[in-house]
Each structure stands twice: as C-alpha cells, then as structure tokens.
Amino acid sequence: MSDTSRTPTEVDDAALIERARREPEAFAEVFRRHAPEIQRYVTRRLGADPAEDVVADTFLAAFRQRERYDLSRSSARPWLYGIATNLIARHKRIEVHQLRVLERTGTDPVSDPFTERSDERLSARSVRQRLAAALASLPAGHRDALLLVAWGGLSYQEAAQALGVRIGTVRSRVNRARNKMRKELGGVDPTSSISEVHVRG
Amino acid sequence: MDEMTQLDRLRSEIPTPELSGAAERRLLAEIATSSQPRPARRQRRRVNLGLGLASGLAAAVTMGVVITNGDSGDPGQTPTVQPYSMAAVTLQRAADNTSKQEELHPKPGQFLVFESQTMDPVDSNNENGHSRFLSRSKRTVWLPVDGSSLDGVLFMEVLPPKPYPGWPLPPEAKQEVGTRGPDRLADFDQRAEYLRTDYAYLSSLPTDTAGMRKHLYLELEPGARADYEAWDRVGSMLAEGYLPAAQRAALFRAAATIPGVETVKKSEDAAGREGVAVAMVSTEAGERQEYIFDLKTYQYLGQRTVVVDADKAEAPVGSVLTATALLKVSVADSAPVVNGG
C-alpha cells in the first residue's frame, strides 16, 4: 500500500475513484496508472491475445464497481489485481494448456512472440519446463496467490485483499506452491542456465 | 538461486506495454455506455461505436433458440447458413424495399423515439464471486434529431432475466427487474465524428454504394478485422439510428460488398419475430452477428449474436447471447424530463 512511485502531491487512487463516482471520465487516470502493469501481468499468465480483452474487461468491471471501492485503501492495485484474477480464471484451460505445452516441448507459446533469440531468456529451458509443470499442476487458488506475489509484486497483505481471503491463507498457499516448485526443480541445477539453453528435455 | 527467483525470471522477457490511446478510448467509450443495467461481456464490437449502442445492438432472447441446458452443448436448432451471394440478394432486397416503407421526416428540435426489446449478457463480479446472466429489457430511447446524444433520454423496463448458458441464475439478477428512468442516456460521448448515428449526421452520408462503403471503412486498416468492424458499424446505424431512405438503401448495398457476409435463412429477433438474417462471423469472439429482416417486406427487425465457437464464446454452439428487436420508431416534439436533472 505504500505508493513510493508517486509524489506526495499527486492524488491517490482512492481520491480518483471517489471522483470517478461523480465524473466517470476521471477513471481514465486509474487506467493510465495501472493498465500497463496489469496488462504485463495478465500477458505473462495468458499470452498477449486474451490479455488485451481481460485488461479491458478488468477496468470496465472496476469502473462499474467503483461505488463499492473501500476508499480507505489508497492504492487500487490489490483491487485491480483481484478483478483481473477473477477474469483470468475464465481462461484457466488456456493458461494450463499453454503451461503444458511449455512443459512438454520447452517452447513457450506465451512468451515466444516477445523473444527473438532464445539466449535472451533469463532461465534455462529445463528450468522453464519444470516451473511450467509445477504451475500447471497447482490448484488455481494456489497459482493465483503465488503469481500475485511473484509476478504482481503484491505483498501477502495485498494478495489477501485481492483474493478476498485471510492473509494466513495466502501464506500457506504460497508456501505450498513454493514446495511444489522446489520439488519439480529438484533435479535441475538452476545456475547452469547458459549451457542448457539448447538442451532438449 | 531459489525457486522464487527462478519463477521471477519465467516469462520476464514480456515487457511492460506502452499505453495505447486506443485502449483508453475504448474504456471511455465503454464507460459512456455504462448506464444501467450494464451489458458487460466482451462487447468489443460495440466499443468503438460508443454510446447509446450498448443496449441497442444487444438484443433480446429468442425463445425457441436459446439454450438453457449448458451441459449438452447441443445447438438445439442449427440454422442453415448460406454463402455470400445469397446475402447480397437479401441486402439488395432490403435496399430495394426501403422506398416502399413509410418514411419519417423528423425536423430539427424534434426527437426520434426508438422502442426496442433487448437481451445482453451481464457479468456480475462482486464480493460473492463471479456470476453471469442474460439481462432482458424493453427500452425507449429519445434521441435529438440534430443535437448531442448527451441530450438523449432512456426509459427502461427490466424484464425477468434468463440464465446464461451453463451458468446458474444468480439471486442479484432478479433484483433488477422493474422500471427505471427516465434517465440521461449517457454521461459523455467519446465517439469519433464519423461514428455518429444521429439523424442529422446520418442524413449527410453518401447515397451511393461506393461512398457509403468508404464511410464504413473509414480509419480502418485493411484486413478481416476491418471487415468485421465495418459490419459492426452497419449494425450500429440500424440499432438505434434512423437513416433517410436513400442512405438506408446505400447502407444495405454497401453492406453486401463486405467480404464474409453470409445469410442465415431462419433467424428470430428479441421479440420472437422470425426473419431472414445477413450475418458475419467474428472468429475472435466465436460469435455470428446477425441482422434480421422480415421475410416478406425485408424491413429491418433486429439483431442477435449466436455462438459458433464454444471455447471462444464460453457458451455452447448455437446459443443466443444477445438479441434486439426494434419494435417501433416514431417522432416526438419533446423528450421526458430526466430524474435528478
């Protein structure tokens, strides 16, 4: 909830959302602030095509729920990530399918369009495949919690707000998801990334 | 390096995107159409058209066709889809027929009054979770002949909802039933000039096929998406728009030139009126957008969208997700005074 990226003189999200209750156009600023970040997050989960729609639907749903926004929360990030998470859930089959493709083939349908050369990747093929296997096998709620924290950069407290669960639930889901990943990664030396780029699984 | 660092690197090559002005405009246009009750889902084709169209393009359910049993995936009734040339014939007949219909001659200062019945999917996303249903309404819209759509007025009677195919009907769906309004039609209008659908503007459009076609494709990059967008623009002019006979005939002739248009021999509008439809499939949405005409007079009846790809549309093939019926268009000297100024 700390808004370190903004100067203190700038109005916080809560003030913007309150204004948007009377002046709908004010909501455009909420979009400008958060859409790029949310879009990257959704793209990482689903790929570019579904992400475009999910993000548009997220902000529209947020706009429609603005009356229910808790104005004591200065940052809208947990709220927006929560709505996006609900919408991502509708594409669960696509998400899992793409993870399975990555697991099986080492080729990632989600990130490939963004990568020209395979050596631009920061992680080895075998690591990617095993992470994909772990992510695909997680219960959806665990994957949501894990990725909100890991990719969304939300704190446990914020992830709990986003998912509408207790902070203890987030903690235990993330822990279990981490165990799962550790187990999958067990056989891989994650430091040998360069030499493994061309290894086929 | 622990597993969280590894995970952090996964797909990290995906960049934070630049904001596109188009995305923001799309949101603002959707917000503008956000008067209640709100059609939610994937109204992408409507988005660029902006205001007042949300419920106009969306339409009512047709009793015989809608699938309420989402488990079966059975289309229930598969319409025969004819190839493109037949569609051209249908649109040609619609064009020829425009001169036979009684024409309205609204004057500056007056209002066109559109009475229609609609059905739209609604996404409800609140603290109780996520639900979907098909919201139905009868609506009357007063649009100034020569003024801003912001002076438009909406009166709505919300009808009992229907379940979204494969989803249980949420309790909140029934709470909306009742009348509301008269309210302002929209808070603001972000549409580009060339997407206006008020009578004064529509009257200024070309009356020849080529000119109207050019208008439909204005500002569009060539391609299948442009064809669908052009098709969509046709729908927005028909839904809650009234064109003089010459422009209306040109519109139908221009629509017949859009690649990918097909005919659906048996369709049905939101009010249950049967007709023949001209249609185009959006492969992105997995839906077929149909414009329905009376079988004898070729007068425009309404529109509907039918699922053709269950995965993309998230509903069984053959289900009707939106429908409209334009029941009456008339001219009035004034519009009702809206609630709350």
For residues A1 and A4, give the distance between their C-alpha atoms in angstroms, rounded to a whole number. Answer: 9
Judged by DSSP in three states, B117 sits in: strand
List of chain B residues whose C-beta atoms are within 8 Å of the C-beta of residue A87: 125
List of chain A residues whose C-beta atoms are within 8 Å of the C-beta of residue B311: 93
Closest-CA distance, B31 to chain A, in angstroms, reads 7
The per-residue pLDDT for range B114-129, each reduced to its tens digit, is 999 999 888 766 556 6
List of chain A residues whose C-beta atoms are within 8 Å of the C-beta of residue B129: 86
For residues B199 and A58, give the distance between their C-alpha atoms in angstroms, rounded to a whole number. Answer: 34
Least confident of A82-91, A144-153, B7-16, B117-126: B117-126
- The sheet carrying B274-282 orders its strands as B81-82, B262-268, B274-282, B287-293, B300-307, B320-332, B111-126, B129-144, B153-163, B178-184
Closest listed residue to residue A79, CA positions, set A93, A67, A97 = A67
Q: What is the pLDDT of residue A151?
A: 97
Closest listed residue to residue B273, CA positions, set B57, B39, B55, B60 = B60
Tokens of B235: 């729908």
Tokens of B246: 């010459």
Task: State which residue of chain B sits closest to A179, comparing Cα positions.
Answer: B3
Q: What is the pLDDT of residue B340?
A: 62
Closest listed residue to residue B263, CA positions, set B238, B290, B224 = B290
Closest listed residue to residue A193, CA positions, set A138, A136, A121, A137 = A121
Measured between alpha carbons, how far is residue A190 from residues A127, B18, B78, B207 in Å? 7, 32, 54, 68
Q: What is the pLDDT of residue A165?
A: 85
Closest-CA distance, B215 to chain A, in angstroms, reads 27
Q: What is the DSSP string of B243-300?
A: --HHHHHHHHHHHTTSTT-EEEEEEE-TTS-EEEEEEEEETTTTEEEEEEE-TTT--E
Judged by DSSP in three states, A164 sits in: coil
Closest listed residue to residue A97, CA positions, set A123, A131, A125, A132 = A132
Closest listed residue to residue B142, CA positions, set B118, B124, B116, B162 = B116
Closest listed residue to residue B308, CA positions, set B330, B286, B341 = B286
Contact state of B14 with A28 under an 8 Å Cβ cutoff: no
The per-residue pLDDT for range B208-222, each reduced to its tens digit, is 999 999 999 998 888
- Asked if A3 contacts A73 with a C-beta cutoff of 8 angstroms, the reply is no
Cα A185 to the center of its chain, rounded Å: 21
B8 and chain A in contact, CB less than 8 A: yes
Domain ranges of chain A: 13-185
Contact state of B14 with A43 under an 8 Å Cβ cutoff: yes
Q: What is the pLDDT of residue B26?
A: 83
Q: Model confidence at A7, in pLDDT bands (50, 70, 90)?
A: very low
Q: What is the pLDDT of residue A5?
A: 45
Task: Among B6, B16, B123, select the one facing A190 at the smallest CB separation.
Answer: B6
- Asked if B71 contacts B166 with a C-beta cutoff of 8 angstroms, the reply is yes
Task: Among B11, B18, B23, select the one facing A111 at the smallest CB separation.
Answer: B11
List of chain B residues whose C-beta atoms are within 8 Å of the C-beta of residue A146: 7
C-beta atoms surrounding B70 within 10 Å:
17
Task: State which residue of chain A sits closest to B122, comparing Cα positions.
Answer: A61
Q: In the Cβ-directed half-sphere of A129, how many Cα atoms lie within 13 Å?
A: 18
Give CA angle at B273 (B269, B277), nearest 5°. Answer: 55
Contact state of A28 with B24 under an 8 Å Cβ cutoff: yes
Contact state of A39 with B17 under an 8 Å Cβ cutoff: yes
Closest listed residue to residue A184, CA positions, set B84, B114, B23, B3 = B3
Ranges of chain B whose pLDDT falls below 70:
1, 33-85, 124-129, 187-190, 340-341
- Asked if B53 contacts B295 with a C-beta cutoff of 8 angstroms, the reply is no
Q: Which residues pair with B281 in a beta bridge?
A: B288
For residues A121 and A105, give the distance between their C-alpha atoms in angstroms, rounded to a whole number. Answer: 16
Closest listed residue to residue B117, CA positions, set B322, B338, B335 = B322
B15 and chain A in contact, CB less than 8 A: yes
Task: State which residue of chain B sits closest to A192, comparing Cα positions.
Answer: B1
Judged by DSSP in three states, B155 sits in: strand
B176 and chain A in contact, CB less than 8 A: no
Closest listed residue to residue A144, CA positions, set A172, A108, A120, A173 = A173
Taking residues A48-67, what's their average pLDDT? 90
ipTM for the assembly? 0.86
For residues B142 and B158, give the distance between their C-alpha atoms in angstroms, rounded to a whole number. Answer: 17
Cα A124 to the center of its chain, rounded Å: 21
Maximum CA extent, chain A: 58
Taking residues A86-110, what's their average pLDDT? 92
- Asked if B268 contacts B64 with a C-beta cutoff of 8 angstroms, the reply is yes
Tokens of A169: 């639930």
Taking residues A117-131, what's their average pLDDT? 77
Q: What is the pLDDT of residue A23?
A: 84
For residues A189 and A200, give the distance between their C-alpha atoms in angstroms, rounded to a whole number. Answer: 15
For residues B122 and B97, give the distance between their C-alpha atoms in angstroms, rounded to a whole number. Answer: 36
Q: What is the pLDDT of residue B131?
A: 79
Q: What is the pLDDT of residue B205?
A: 96
B130 and chain A in contact, CB less than 8 A: yes
Q: What is the pLDDT of residue B89?
A: 79
